[in-house]
Structure formats: structure tokens, C-alpha cells
Amino acid sequence: MTIFGWGVFKGMMVTLKNFLTSYFRKPDEGGIFTVQYPEEREKAIENFRNFPFLVYDGSPEKIRCVACGICERECPPKCIHIEMEIDVAGKPTRKPAVFDIDYGLCMNCGMCEEVCPFDSIFMDHAFEVTAPERNEGLVRNKKELSKSNEYFQKVRPTLASSIDQKRKAAEEKKKAAAAPQGVGGQAQPPQGQEPK
């Protein structure tokens, strides 16, 4: 026979233990696991992805995007708007003149990243996107969207380095192919995206 009230006592000891350990235990050992957000942040997981951005190599003029418009067509909520730049002779230059993404419309699906054959659009880690106006503040233009390859390396190192390797390999192949044949037609687009 158990003592009358023993269960009550045991229950109270459980809460007392929780109360005391909340002061000195670590989060995964039974302490407080609250992260006090604006001051403390959890380290972002590498594969976390939020809003798309454009990658350039070296300087913002050498943007990887060729304004092919595949992402514009594939984007489910149609939040991308691209216009190709046309030079003085009226010839398209394979560079975007206008590249707008409406972050207010974007649903963070990452489809643009998957379909892009030129490894130019990727998903960012920045999630604190605010604007006072729905229509103006959240539409990002080309200048705001362009971020350097170094930034990409910093944010998602695994993916960025694998992409860099692939690009390098493709370039060498192209060079090797160009050396004996001379001018060998247009540049081969890189093979389909590796599964990430």
C-alpha cells in the first residue's frame, strides 16, 4: 500500500525540479530552450532557403543571368519580371535590363533555383524582409537582388562550392573543345542541375 498523498508529493517534486533546473541546465538537458529572438539567434541551417537572389562573379556587371526567362515562366505565382537588354544595334545582349522580383508575391518555393540552367538564381537566407508599402517596398529590382558569389559561398557553402566546381569543369571542357575546332558554335549550357 502506498502512503496517502505520495503521488501529490511526487508531482510537486517534479515541478520543483523543473523550476530549479531551469536556472542552470542547458537547453537539451532540461533547461530553458527559448531563444530570445532579436538578441539571440539560432544559427541558420545551410539548406534553409527563403527569397531568391541573383549571383554575379566579381563585379555586378558580370551577372550570371542571361535573361532567358525560364524562371519567369516557371514561377508559380508569377512574381518574376525580366526584360532583356538590347544594345545600340538593336541586338539582344543576353543580359537582363530589368529583373524584378515581388517578394510580397513570392511563395519561397525555390522553383526558379531548380529550373535555372545558368546557376544564376538561388535562394537566400535573409528572412527579415519588411516594407511599409505592399506594392513598392517589397518589389526588389536587379540592383538589390544582385549579390556576389562570395556572399553565396558564405550563405550556402556546400551548394556554392559544388556549383563553382561544375562551372569550372564546364569552362575547361569548353576551352578544350574550342582549341582544336576553333569557333565551335554557341556555348553549351551546363548539364541539368545536380540534385541538391
Binding site for another protein (CB under 8 A): 4, 8, 11-12, 14-16, 18-19, 22-23, 30-34, 36
CB of 17 to another protein, least distance (A): 10
CB of 8 to another protein, least distance (A): 8
Please identify, using beta-carbon distances, which residue of 33 and 48 lies nearer to another protein. Answer: 33
CB of 41 to another protein, least distance (A): 16
CB of 31 to another protein, least distance (A): 7
Distance between alpha carbon 173 and the CA centroid of its chain, in Å? 28
Write out the three cell numbers for 6.
505520495
